[in-house]
Amino acid sequence: MKNFTQNVIKHKTGLLNLAAELGNISRACRIMGFSRGEYC
């Protein structure tokens, strides 16, 4: 369970970092293959 939680946190952190770099959360979600409702 610990590894799963760490992977989720790492994945979400990556999404947030990409969104900050792009300046657009919707675009970051599309690039990473998420729907906005899923993680954004």
Q: What is the end-to-end Cα distance of the chain in Å, rounded?
A: 23
Q: pLDDT-based confidence at 37, cuts 50/70/90?
A: confident
pLDDT at residue 27, rounded to an integer? 94
pLDDT at residue 38, rounded to an integer? 66
pLDDT at residue 40, rounded to an integer? 53
Amino acid type, 26: S
pLDDT at residue 22, rounded to an integer? 97
Question: In terms of Cα–Cα distance, which of 4, 40, 3 is closest to 28?
Answer: 40
Question: In whole angstroms, what separates CA 1 from the centre of its chain?
Answer: 20
Q: How far apart are CA 18 and CA 34, in angstroms?
A: 13
